[in-house]
Structure 1
Amino acid sequence: MELSRQLARYSLELSYEDLPEEVVSFTKLCILDYFGSAISGSDKKPVQMVSELVNEMGGHEQAKLFTGGKSSAINAALVNGAASHVMELDDIHKGSIIHAATVVIPAALAIAEWKELSGKELITAVVAGYEVCFRIGEAVSPSHYYYWHNTATCGTFGAVTAAGKLLGLSEDELVNALGNAGSQAAGLWEFIVDGAMTKQLHTGKAAMNGTMAALLAQKGFTGPKKILEGDRGFFNAMSEEHDVSRITENLGQEFKILENSFKIHASCRHTHHAVDLLIDIFKEQHPALEDIESVEVDSYQVALNITDDADPQTEYAAKFSLQFCSALALLNGRASLEDFNGDKLWDEGVRSLIKKVNVQVDPAIDGSYPKQWGAAVSVLLKDGEKIHKQTDFPKGDPENAVTPEELLEKFMGMATKLPTQQRQALAESLMDLESTENISDLMAAL
C-alpha cells in the first residue's frame, strides 16, 4: 500500500473518541500557543504586507484573518500562517524539526470556521495533521534540513491532512490531496543569509497550499499516489538519506503530538539550549562583562549551520545568531520578545561580549541530534574560575517541560493587543475547546 494511502486511512479513521484525555489537553495547549503567536505577530511588517496583498486581491468572507477582517479560507490560511511564525515563539518538534502549529492550525482553523465545525473536530484534525507532518519530517531529517525548511516542506503535508479531514474527504481524495501538497512543498534556507522576510512566506504558503490541495481534491483533482516514496517523489528528490520506516512505525499506537516542544525564548530554537544554560549562570553569579574572559558554546552541526553569525545586522538576524543570543542571555538573564530590538542589537556590552563567544561542534552532542538538541557552555572568568553547564533538552521539551500555567502566562504576554478581559475569555474558550459547537463563534472573539 502506498505510504500516502496509509497516512490518509489513519487520518480519516481517527475520531475524537480515540484521543486520550492527555492528548486532548495537550492539543489544546498547542492551539493556545498558536493563538498567542498569531495575535502577537499580526501587526509585524511582513505579515501586514501579506495581509494587504490579500485584501487587494479580494476573496469571499469565509474565515477570519488575525490581521483583521475576513477573506477566503485559502487567504486566511496564508495570512494566519505567516502571522504565527514571525515572532519565533511557535512550537517545535525535535525529531522532524517542524514548527507544526504555524502550518497545521491555520489551515484547520480556516476550514473549521468556514464550515462551522466544532471544537472536537478541530482538535482531532490538528492531532492528525501533526502526526502526518512529524512522521514525514522524521523520515527525511536531518539531511533534508540543510537546504530545506522542514516546517514549509513537510508541514504542507500536515496542513493538507488537517484540512482534508475537516472537509470530509474520502480516502482516495486525501491521497490525491497529499500528492498535490507534496508537489508544492518548498522553502529554501537561503533567506537566512540576508535575513529576508521569506520565512513568513514559507509558513503561510504551506498552510495555504495544503488547504488548496484539499479543496481541489474534493472537486476530483488528482495527484500522484506515491508522492513520498516514488522514484521522483519527495524522499528521493529532497533528502540525501531517508528512513521510510518512520512513516508507519507505531502508526495508530501513539500520538506524536505529545512529543511536541514549546518555546519560551524569542529566538531560533537552535539557540535555546545555550540560552537556558547562560541564563542559569546569570541568575547564580551575575558575572560582569569586564570579568568575563571567554564563553565557549559546544553544540551540534545543524545548530551552527543555522545560527553561526557573529555579526547580525538586523533584529531578526539576531534571533538566528547563537553568539548574540548567548551574549544577551549571559548579560541580561533573558531572551524575551522585548530583548530583540534595535537598542539591544547594537548594545555596546552585548557587542563586546559577542567577540568573546566561540561556538563549535561537539561530536558527542552532534551524534545525539536530532533526538536531543543539546549544548554545553563554559564561561571562563578573568580570575581563572570556569563555570560549566550542559543540557540535552532545552526548556519546553517534553523531557524538560513547561507547565500549562506557564503556557497560559506566555499567551497572556503575547496577546496583549487584546484587552485583559478579552484575553482571559479567549484563553478560557481555548482551554475548553471541546465544548465549542461552532469554531466561527470562537474566531469572532478576535
Structure 2
Amino acid sequence: MSGGDDPRVRNRTTDAGGGYSKHNSTGWHTTGTLGAYAAAVATSKYLGLTQAQMVSAIGLSGSVAGGTWAFSRDGSMSKRFNPGNAAQSGITAAYLAREGFTGPRYVIEAEWGGYFSLYAFNHTYDLMTLFADLGDDLRLGWTGIKPYACCRGCHSAIDVIHQMRSENQVTADNIDAVLVTCSAS
C-alpha cells in the first residue's frame, strides 16, 4: 500500500501524509480534517466551477478544516459536529470561490500552514502519492457507507440487535443486560 497502513481506511491524502494511523495517532479526526476538502470538490463539480475557482474552493476549505479526537476523553458530542462542519465549510468555500473569493493555491503542500505541514508534520509525506493512478484508481473500494450514525466498530452489535428484534420479537422489556465486546482499535 502506497503510504497507507490500514487497509480499511484509505484515501489519497492520508496515504500521501504517511497513512491513516499516523494521522489519527496525532489526534486528528479525518472526517474533520479532510471532509471540507471533499465537500469543496463535490460542490465545485456540482456548480460547474472553473479549475481556478475549484482550486480556490479547495484552498478555502483547507483554511477552515479541522477536527480532533479530543472527544474521546470525555465523550463530548464534537465527533458528531465534525462531519456537518466539514460539509458546511466545503460548500461555503465553493460558493465563495464561484463569486471570486480566492483561497490559497498550495493549501496541501505549503511549508507553513499547508495540510502536510499541519497534519503530517512529524512524519514523512509524499505529494506524488496524491496523484498516483488518478483517474484510474478512484479509491471507491476503500470507501464505506455507515448505515448507522456511530463508530463503525459498533455496527455489528446494532445489526445483531436488529436481527434479534425481527427474528425473535425481542423488546427492551425482555432484556436484563447487554454485553458487547469490541476490539481495542
Does residue 217 of the first structure (1) align with residue 97 of the second (2)? yes
Per-residue deviation, residues 37-67 of structure 1 (Å, max 9, x unmatched): xxxxxxxxxxxxxxxxxxxxxxxxxxxxxxx
Q: 1:350 is matched with which residue: 171, 175, 179?
A: 179
User: How big is the shift at 1:338?
Assistant: 7.7
The structure where strand makes up a greater share of residues is 1
Correspondence for 1:335: 157
Unaligned runs of 5+ in 1: 1-92, 97-133, 272-318, 320-324, 326-333, 362-446
* TM-score, length basis structure 1: 0.33
Aligned to 2:14: 137
- The count of aligned residue pairs is 165
> Aligned with 2:109: secondary structure?
coil
Indicate which of 165, 172, 183 corresponds to 2:45: 165
Q: Which amino acid in structure 2 is aligned with residue 336 of structure 1?
A: I
Rate the CA distance shift 1:236–1:219 in 2: closer, same or farther, 3 A: same
Provide the rounded CA distance (Å) in 2 between the counterparts of 1:245 and 1:227.
Answer: 15
- The alpha-carbon distance between structure 1 residues 265 and 218, as it changes in their structure 2 partners (threshold 3 A), is closer
2:61 aligned residue? 181
- Give the Cα–Cα distance (whole angstroms) in 2 for the partners of residues 350 and 205 of structure 1: 33
Inter-CA distance 195–224: structure 2 relative to 1 (3 Å threshold): same
Map 1:264-413 to 2 at 5 A: 268-269=151-152, 271=153, 319=154, 335-336=157-158, 339=161, 347=177, 350=179
User: For 1:264 and 1:206, how far apart are their aligned partners in 2?
Assistant: 20
Identical columns (%): 32
Deviation at 1:336, TM superposition (A): 1.4
Please list the CA deviations of residues 359-396 of structure 1 after superposition, one character each: whole Å capped at 9, or x if unmatched: 678xxxxxxxxxxxxxxxxxxxxxxxxxxxxxxxxxxx
Counterpart of 1:234 in structure 2 is 115
From the superposition, tell whether residues 198 and 259 of structure 1 become closer, same or farther in structure 2 (CA, over 3 Å). same
Structure-2 residue corresponding to 1:248: 131
Higher relative contact order, structure no. (Cα contacts within 8 Å, ≥ 6 residues apart): 2
Q: Which has the higher helix share?
A: 1
Instruction: Say whether 1:192 aligns with 2:72.
Output: yes
Q: Is the 8 A contact 1:267 1:335 kept in 2?
A: no
Would the aligned equivalents of 1:229 and 1:236 in 2 still touch at CA under 8 Å?
A: yes
Question: Which of the pair has more CA radius of gyration?
Answer: 1
TM-score, scaled to structure 2: 0.75
Q: Deviations over 1:325-360 (max 9, x none)?
A: 9xxxxxxxx5116849x99xx82x628xx6xx9x67
| Residue aligned with 2:179, SS | helix
Mapped partners of 2:149, 2:80: distance in 1: 15
- Counterpart residue type for residue 236 of structure 1: S
Distance of 1:360 and 1:337 partners within structure 2: 20
Structure 2 gaps of 5+ residues are: 1-6, 163-171
Show the counterpart of 2:140: 257
Give, in whole Å, the separation in 2 of the partners of 1:255 and 1:243: 18
Q: For 1:263 and 1:215, locate their aligned partners in 2 and report how far apart those are by CA, in whole Å.
A: 28
Counterpart Cα distance in 1 of 2:59 and 2:34:
12
